[in-house]
Structure 1
Amino acid sequence: MENSSTSTVTTANAGVRYGLLAGIASAILSLVLYATNLEQSPVRWVSMLVLAGAIFLAQQFYKQNNNSFMSYGQGLGIGAMVGAISGLVSGVYTFVYTQFINPDFMATALNKARTDMEARGNLSDEQIEQGLQMSSKFMDGPFLYIGAILGTLFFAFLLALVISAFTKHKRPEFE
């Protein structure tokens, strides 16, 4: 017997919906961390929990609208879409934050990096300067924003590899 009901929810729909939610939640979390000077603390990794939660919820949403079925590949696709959209929102947020909200962000980050390298005590002044020059190249221009997008996509895909293994529910072959 054929399954004649078709769902309007696709993997892309689920991924976009929850990717937007994850991106907005991560931007709000980031603002709170900057406002409380906790942006360099271990608390910043909470954004990975937000991303993992969004992937899980997107997969559950997809399954609810597809007779509880989702293949492993569909789960990976949903996770990648959540990561891509969330990364895009993060990239836009990072641009707005570094250009308009806190234009001194780059200088502050480089000063903190200098302080951290000097505190270690195992680097010469030349090595510190070289490291800071290299860091400033990656923090300037499109590298920072592209890095936010690709980094989020990469971690989302890694999370989706694990989460999809637990949430998949294949449709029986002879249904």
Structure 2
Amino acid sequence: MQLKASPRQPLGKRSRRMLREGKLPAILYGHNTEATPITLDRLEFQKVFVKSGRTHLVDLVLDGDRTEKVLVREIQTHPRRLGPIHVDFYQVDLEEKIEVDVPVRLVGESAPVKSGDGDVLQPMHSIRVECLPSDIPESFEVDISSLEEIEAELRVSDIRVPSGVTVLDSPEDLVVKIVHKR
């Protein structure tokens, strides 16, 4: 996935004008890089972000000649319009491990939930891991169909982790639990 960007002036009141013109202010920082203010097309960013999320590397092309491998680190959104108004890109070194939050996706259906006796409680929606940028999992799929009783639970230690990925959260942290329906 690729995004085109160009440098911009760091200060001033041009952000609103840029947003009206369909541009999105952003900043690039990270491994051996000074913070660089950039601008990119807002619709192009939204299309790429839907596919990449925060866990896939994106090729950020600056001025058409320099390409950087980046992750989306933070997105600021407008409180009423719900669109992005600023993005932080983190440049990575492909040979250096980084810390990243990987989303937890629940799949399957638990018997107590299916019968209407229980509800799913998911206190953890992401798991913090350390790995090389090329090894970042898209998500952790957690099958809850094995949770056949009320009070059944899965913890971080129960999740299968690919090789090369180290979980930084406590193994005892609760990921999902079946609770009595209220």
Task: Place the TM-score, normalised by the shorter chain, in its bin.
Answer: under 0.3
In terms of fraction of residues, the more strand-rich structure is 2
Please report the TM-score for the alignment, with normalisation by the length of structure 2.
0.24
Q: Where is the helix percentage greater, Structure 1 or Structure 2?
A: 1
Q: TM (normalized to structure 1)? A: 0.24
